[in-house]
Amino acid sequence: MNKHLGDKLIDYAWDMLTPQERAEAEGHLRACADCRAELGQHQALHNRVAATIPVMLPIVPPRVRDGWPEIAARLPQLRKAAAPTRHSSPGFIAVGLAMSTAAVLTVAVMVQAWIGLGRPPLTVTALYASATPVASATYTPERPTTVATPVGWMYATPLEAPRPLPIVATAKP
Amino acid sequence: MDDSDLIQRCLTGDSNACADLYQRWCGCVYRLAYGILRQEQDAEEVTQDVFVYALSRLGSFDPSKSAFRTWLYTITISRSRNKLRRKWLPTVEIGEWSESETTNETRPPEELSELQAERECVWAALGQLSPKLREAVVLRYFENLTYPEIGQILGCPMKTIQSRVRLAHKELRKLLE
């Protein structure tokens, strides 16, 4: 005879065996009186537990059954608190990334404009020259001196061909 | 109307659908929480927390991964565990259980009284199990859940559930001898 089923009998009593395991166990049980007797004890205990739990769990009290308004009152603030989680969907991430990239690029362009890098100085000065009276005595072509110039980068393509710099106006005392 | 329809309506902000979903499941959630916590007030608080959490995060429920019931019970188990961790609970609280269940039975009073004593005895023994063992046993007989469902709710492989049920059975045997 095969060896006794041991803990498999508990699994059998609690219906945790696969169909194949169950068939094997039943094959053994047919031939083994000891295991049958032990299984009887396991099944008796199992049946006591199975009969107790559903009955001992209480019926739902009215406070719970009628508790929806209290829960509904708690929901809006939680929805608000949970808002960042909802916004972490791929669409929101993409929009967020695009907006921050645009912001960084704008700042970079403005900084570059401020220090006079990234564009040929001639274009800068030409734009500047086209917007500023050529008679300015303090004008220096290498580096714009007013804050107005960076804004001009938004209209980077000159509307007219660069004019020669007004060299004649740069005479210093 | 089935759960998925109600959930879809809840996701569009339909408060009536949320109320319907609550009415449909509050009893099961409460009874499961009570089975773990064994205290009415704690079970009520957990029930409320479960629904506030579930309804505010309904968008994260994925029907392709589990049934709504499984998802809800997973939250219930998790909230009940938190409750158990936070406070010491008396092990057994008998006497508040359903009167209607027993009084409806058509048996002689002596037999009913014996039956009640027997149930109280088993219920008290269940209360002495560790929470993890108790969860496995309560889930099995609270709604006749299958072991794979229990595994999904508790986040454990089938072998772990099997081992917990065996341990619970052995402990109950000792306690009830």
Residue A58, H or E segment: none
Confidence of residue B14 (pLDDT cuts 50, 70, 90): confident
Indicate yes or no: CB of A75 within 8 angstroms of CB of B102.
no
Residue B59 sits in the same domain as residue B11: yes
* pLDDT higher than 50, residue B32: yes
CA atoms of B32 and B77, how far apart (whole Å): 8
Contact A14 B176 (CB under 8 A): no
What pLDDT does residue B146 have? 87
pLDDT at A154: 47
Within an 8 Å CB–CB cutoff, is residue A52 touching chain B?
A: yes
User: What is residue A122's predicted lDDT score, i.e. its pLDDT?
Assistant: 46
Residue A167 at interface with chain B, using a CB cutoff of 8 Å: no
Contact B98 A14 (CB under 8 A): no
Which backbone phi and psi does B39 adopt, to 5 degrees? -145, 125
User: Of B56, B86, B116, which residue constitutes the final position of a domain?
Assistant: B86
Over the stretch B92-150, which tens digit does the pLDDT of each residue have?
Answer: 444 443 444 444 556 677 777 888 888 899 999 999 999 999 999 999 888 888 898 99
pLDDT of amino acid A163 = 56
CA R_g for chain B: 18
- Per-residue pLDDT band for A156 (boundaries 50, 70, 90) equals very low
Chain A residues closer than 8 Å to B16 by CB: none
pLDDT at A143 over 60: no
A48 to chain B: closest CA residue: B122
Burial of B37 (0-12, 13-18, 19+ CB in 10 A): buried
pLDDT at A85 over 60: no
- B151 and B80 belong to one structural domain: no
Instruction: Among B86, B121, B136, identify where a domain stops.
Output: B86
Residue B42 has pLDDT above 80, yes or no: yes
The confidence score (pLDDT) of residue A119 equals 52
Query: Where in chain A are the domains?
Result: 8-56, 90-170
Whether residue B126 sits in one domain with residue B163: yes
Does the structure show a pLDDT above 80 at A115? no
Subunit contact A16:B165, Cβ cutoff 8 A = yes
Domain that holds residue B28: 3-86
**Is position B98 within any domain?**
no
Q: What are phi and psi of B88, to 5 degrees?
A: -80, 135
CB contact under 8 A, A68 and B47: no
- Both B7 and B77 in one domain: the answer is yes
- Choosing from B29, B57, B86, the residue where a domain stops is B86
A49·B137 Cβ contact <8 A: yes
Q: Each residue of A19-75: pLDDT tens digit?
A: 999 999 999 999 999 999 999 999 999 999 999 988 888 889 999 999 999 999 888
Asked if B7 and B82 sit in the same domain, the reply is yes
Instruction: Calculate the average pLDDT of chain A.
Output: 71
Average pLDDT over residues A112-129: 53
Q: Do B35 and A53 touch (CB under 8 A)?
A: yes
Q: Which residues of A touch B119 (CB under 8 A)?
A: 51-52, 55-56
Q: Which pairs count as long-range contacts for B56-60, CB under 8 Å and 24+ apart, including other chains? A: B56/A75, B56/A78, B56/A79, B56/A82, B57/A82, B57/A85, B58/B7, B58/B10, B58/B11, B59/A86, B59/B11, B60/A85
Is A36 an 8 Å CB contact of chain B? no
**What is the average per-residue pLDDT within B27-55?**
94
Count: domains in chain B: 2
Task: Give the closest-approach CA distance of B22 to chain A in angstroms.
Answer: 7
Side-chain-side CA neighbours of residue A143 (13 Å): 5
Q: What is the ipTM of this complex?
A: 0.79
Task: Indicate if the pLDDT at residue B28 is higher than 90.
Answer: yes
Q: pLDDT tier at B89 (50, 70, 90 boundaries)?
A: very low
CB distance B176–A48 less than 8 Å? yes
Taking an 8 Å cut-off on Cβ atoms, the answer to whether A85 and B40 are in contact is no
pLDDT for A110 beyond 50 = yes
B119: CATH: 1.10.10.10
Dihedral over Cα of A6, A12, A17, A21: its sign:
positive
Please tell me whether residues B28 and B66 are part of one structural domain.
yes
CATH number of the domain enclosing B65: 1.10.1740.10
Confidence of residue B34 (pLDDT cuts 50, 70, 90): very high
- The tens digit of pLDDT for each residue in A9-35 reads 999 999 999 999 999 999 999 999 999
Tell me what pLDDT residue A151 has.
46
Calpha distance A157→A142 (Å, rounded): 19
Residue A112 backbone dihedrals phi, psi, to 5 degrees: -60, -40
Answer whether residue A89 shows pLDDT above 80.
Answer: no
Residues A29/A9, Cβ–Cβ less than 8 Å: no
Asked if A19 reaches chain B (Cβ–Cβ under 8 Å), the answer is: no
- Tell me the whole-structure pTM to 2 decimals: 0.64
CA-nearest residue to A49 within chain B is B122
B162 interface with A at CB cutoff 8 Å: yes
Average pLDDT over residues A84-100: 65
In a domain? residue B96 = no
Q: Tell whether B8 is covered by a domain.
A: yes
Specify if B76 maps to a domain.
yes
pLDDT the model gives residue B165:
94
